[in-house]
Chains A and B, each alone.
Chain A
Amino acid sequence: MNLDLTPEEAAFRAEVRAFLERELTPDVWRAHRDLSEQGMWTADFTKAFRRKLGAAGYIGMGWPREYGGGGRSRVYQAIFWDEMEYHRAPGLDRSITYVPSALLALGSEEQKKRLLPGVMRGELSWFVGYSEPEAGSDLANLKTRAVEDGDDFIITGQKSFSSEAHMADYGWVAVRTDPAMSKHRGLSLFIVDMKSPGVVITKHPTLAGWTHHAVYFDQVRVPRSMMVGELHEGWKVVMGAIDFERAALASHGLIGFQLDRLLAWCGKERDGAPRRLDDPLVRDELVRLAIEGEGARLMTYWLASLHARGLMPQHETSLAVLVKRETARRFDVAGLDLLGAFGPLRAGSPWAPLDGEVEVEYRDRLYFQFAAGGFDITRNVVAQRGLGLPR
Chain B
Amino acid sequence: MDITLSEDQTLIARTALSFAKSALKAERIRELETSENGFDAAVWRQMVEMGWAGAVFPAEYGGSDFSLFELALIVAALGQGAVPSPVFSTVVEAGLLLLDAGSPAQRSHWLPRIADGRSIMTTAIVEPGGGLLPEEIRTRVAQTGSSFRVSGTKLFVRDAGVAEVIVCLGRSGENPADLTLVLIPADTVGVRRRRLWAAGGEALWEVIFDEVTVATEAVVGRPGQAWPHVERLLLRGAALKSAELVGIGQAALDLTVEYAKTRVQFGRPIGSFQGVQHHCTEMYRDLTVSRLLAWQAAARLGAGRPADREVAMAKAKTGEAIPALTRTAHQIHGAIAYYRDYPLEIYYHRAIAAAAAYGDAGHHRRGLARLLHEDIARFQGDHRHELPVHYV
Contact = CB atoms under 8 A, between A and B. Distances in A.
Interface of A: 1-6, 9, 17, 21, 24, 26, 29, 75, 83, 86-87, 253, 256-257, 259-261, 263-264, 267, 277, 280, 283-284, 286-288, 290-292, 294-299, 301-302, 304-306, 308-309, 311, 319, 322-323, 354, 376, 378-380, 382-384, 386-391
Contacts of B292: 295, 298-299, 302
B5 interface: yes
Contact of B271 (A24, A87, A390): A390
Tell which of B3, B6, B381 has the most Cβ of chain A within 10 Å: B3
23 contacts: A1-B4, A2-B1, A21-B388, A24-B388, A257-B387, A260-B380, A260-B391, A283-B372, A284-B369, A287-B372, A291-B313, A291-B368, A299-B288, A305-B1, A308-B2, A309-B2, A311-B4, A354-B391, A379-B274, A382-B284, A383-B280, A389-B269, A390-B268
Nearest to B292: A298
B387 A264 contact: yes
A379 B277 contact: yes
A3 B272 CA distance: 37
A267 B277 CA distance: 41
A171 B316 CA distance: 46
Contacts of B261: 388-390
Nearest to A296: B289
A299 B260 CA distance: 26
Contacts of B387: 257, 260-261, 264
B316 A298 contact: no
B389 interface: yes
B42 interface: no
B274 A380 contact: yes
A330 to B, nearest CB: 13
Contacts of A280: 369
Contacts of A323: 285, 288-289
Contacts of B382: 4
Interface of B: 1-6, 9, 69, 257, 260-261, 268-269, 271-272, 274, 276-278, 280-282, 284-285, 288-289, 292-293, 295-296, 299-300, 313, 316-317, 365, 368-369, 372-373, 376, 379-392
State the main secondary structure of chain A at its contact with B.
helix
B281 A86 contact: no
A256 B385 contact: yes
Given A2-B2, A383-B280, A389-B271, A295 B391 contact: no
B303 to A, nearest CB: 9
> Quick one: which of A263, A277, A301, A389 has the most chain B CB within 10 A?
A389
B9 A1 contact: yes
Contacts of B391: 260-261, 264, 354
A304 B3 CA distance: 8
B277 A380 contact: yes
Given A75-B1, A290-B368, A29 B269 contact: no
Nearest to A30: B390
B385 A391 contact: no
B2 A1 contact: yes
Q: Which 7 A-B pairs have CB atoms at the shortest separation, nearest pair first?
A: A383-B277, A295-B289, A298-B292, A389-B271, A283-B369, A379-B281, A302-B3
Contacts of B295: 1, 3
A304 B1 contact: yes
Contacts of A257: 385, 387
A389 B376 contact: no
A305 B317 contact: no
A281 B368 CA distance: 13
Contacts of B282: 379
A267 B374 CA distance: 11
Contacts of A4: 1, 382
A294 B381 contact: yes
For B269, B288, B376, B379, the residue with the greatest tally of chain A CB atoms inside 10 Å of its CB is B288
Nearest to A264: B391
Most buried by B among A21, A75, A291: A291
Contacts of B389: 21, 26
Contact of A298 (B3, B386, B388): B3
B299 A389 contact: no
A286 B390 contact: no
A120 to B, nearest CB: 25
B1 A384 contact: no
B284 A295 contact: no
A305 B3 contact: yes
A282 B365 CA distance: 12
Nearest to B273: A389
A304 B292 CA distance: 14
Nearest to A266: B372
A284 to B, nearest CB: 6
